[in-house]
Structure 1
Amino acid sequence: MSQQLDGKRVAILATHGFEESELAVPKAKLDAQGITVDVVSPEAKGIRAWAESDWGETYEVDRSLDEANSTDYHALVLPGGLFNPDALRQDERALSFVRHFFEAGKPVGAICHAPWILINAEVVEGRTLTSYPSVRKDLENAGARWIDERVVVDNGLVTSRTPKDLDAFCHKMVEEIHEGRHAGQAS
């Protein structure tokens, strides 16, 4: 399958305070499949990770959100953590970037608290998702159906609960990127 993924491009949208493993692991797994991965951020320079209980490494930003164009990418990944999705869900540029992936029917992955971004982008109504348990009521209040599974796929939208689910999350993201556009993904 990896030869079929050569030439594919994925954006990982993040800012300061993303859960480190939720960016590092998907990036490494997608890179290993021959997929070009760009870290996209409202910040033009490096962004600092949150590593479980303290600040982690600083990661290079490949493209600022102002420079990035969703049409350049085949899929989008949204890492969680607490600080990262809380900041991005308040950034209209980030929400617009996310909406474009849904409008184009491209695969989107969100893990942990990242569905907060999807709620504010208004793309969860009528969908089935999972997330970190504390996000459950927020998703339900936004019209989504929440289930407690390692990974949930709803027409190109891949969601997972915690870093413990990263293997299943990455596997499903690769499958969805391979599959490509989803006509029913448009919101």
Structure 2
Amino acid sequence: MDALIVTTDGFEDSELIYPYYRLQEAGIGMEIATPDGESVTGKIGEEMDADLSIADASESDYDLLVVPGGNAPEDLRIEAEESIDLVREFDESGKPIASVCHGAQLLISADILEDREATGFWAIQVDIENAGATFVDEECVVDDNLITARYPADLPAWLSTVLDRVEAQPAAAD
């Protein structure tokens, strides 16, 4: 079982670090993809090394996609169009996409929210709704393969749901 986190500078530190280590603790292989394959720094200064560039990431190599929030999702939409393609590929495959807070901005750009339920940070509620989704103000919202959360306080419930979901699915072919 392997998971991929897509991010860039300005990620919300806890929204990347908590799933990164919690999923590893559960025995899930973790990799971080950034636009240039270089290390990135969070909003409060946490530096994380990248394993590969987003352009080199392939949906077929992973069982789960994690999209942390902060400023990173907005920047990914602008500087790394391949991140949008990757989200679409995960959605088309039916593999889980776990997004928290502003991570929903990447889901919006990938145009995968039409007729679905999702949550995210309150300030992007109208964006989520304009993308065709029903915004649900709950700590964790599941709609088919999408698992979304609002903000850092929701991380425990969100990760518990993510782990339940990935443990129930077959692993990607190696």
| 1:30 equivalenced with 2:23 (yes/no) | yes
| 1:89 equivalenced with 2:82 (yes/no) | no
Deviation at 1:10, TM superposition (A): 0.2
User: Secondary structure of 1:89's partner?
Assistant: helix
What are the within-5 Å matches in structure 2 for residues 38-49 of structure 1? 38-49=31-42
**1:17-69 per-position Cα deviation (integer Å, ceiling 9, x unaligned):** 00010000001110011000101111221101112xxxx12110011112211
The separation in 2 between residues aligned to 1:28 and 1:131, in whole angstroms, is 22
State the partner residue of 2:140. 151
Contact 1:151-1:169 within 8 A present in 2 as well: yes
**1:85-136 per-position Cα deviation (integer Å, ceiling 9, x unaligned):** 1111223211001111001000000000110110010000011011100110
The separation in 2 between residues aligned to 1:33 and 1:114, in whole angstroms, is 23
TM-score (norm 2): 0.94
The separation in 1 between residues aligned to 2:123 and 2:169, in whole angstroms, is 31
| 1:172 equivalenced with 2:161 (yes/no) | yes
Divergent runs of 4+, >2 A: none
Deviation at 1:179, TM superposition (A): 2.1
User: Secondary structure of 2:41's partner?
Assistant: strand
Taking only the aligned residue pairs, the percentage that are identical comes to: 37
TM-score (norm 1): 0.88
User: Secondary structure of 2:42's partner?
Assistant: strand
State the partner residue of 1:130. 119
The farther-off stretch of 165-174 and 90-99 is 90-99
Contact 1:78-1:110 within 8 A present in 2 as well: yes
| 1:19 equivalenced with 2:8 (yes/no) | no
State the partner residue of 2:152. 163
State the partner residue of 1:185. none
State the partner residue of 2:89. 100
CA RMSD after TM alignment: 1.0
The separation in 2 between residues aligned to 1:148 and 1:67, in whole angstroms, is 35
The unaligned stretches of length 5 or more in structure 1 are 1-7, 182-187
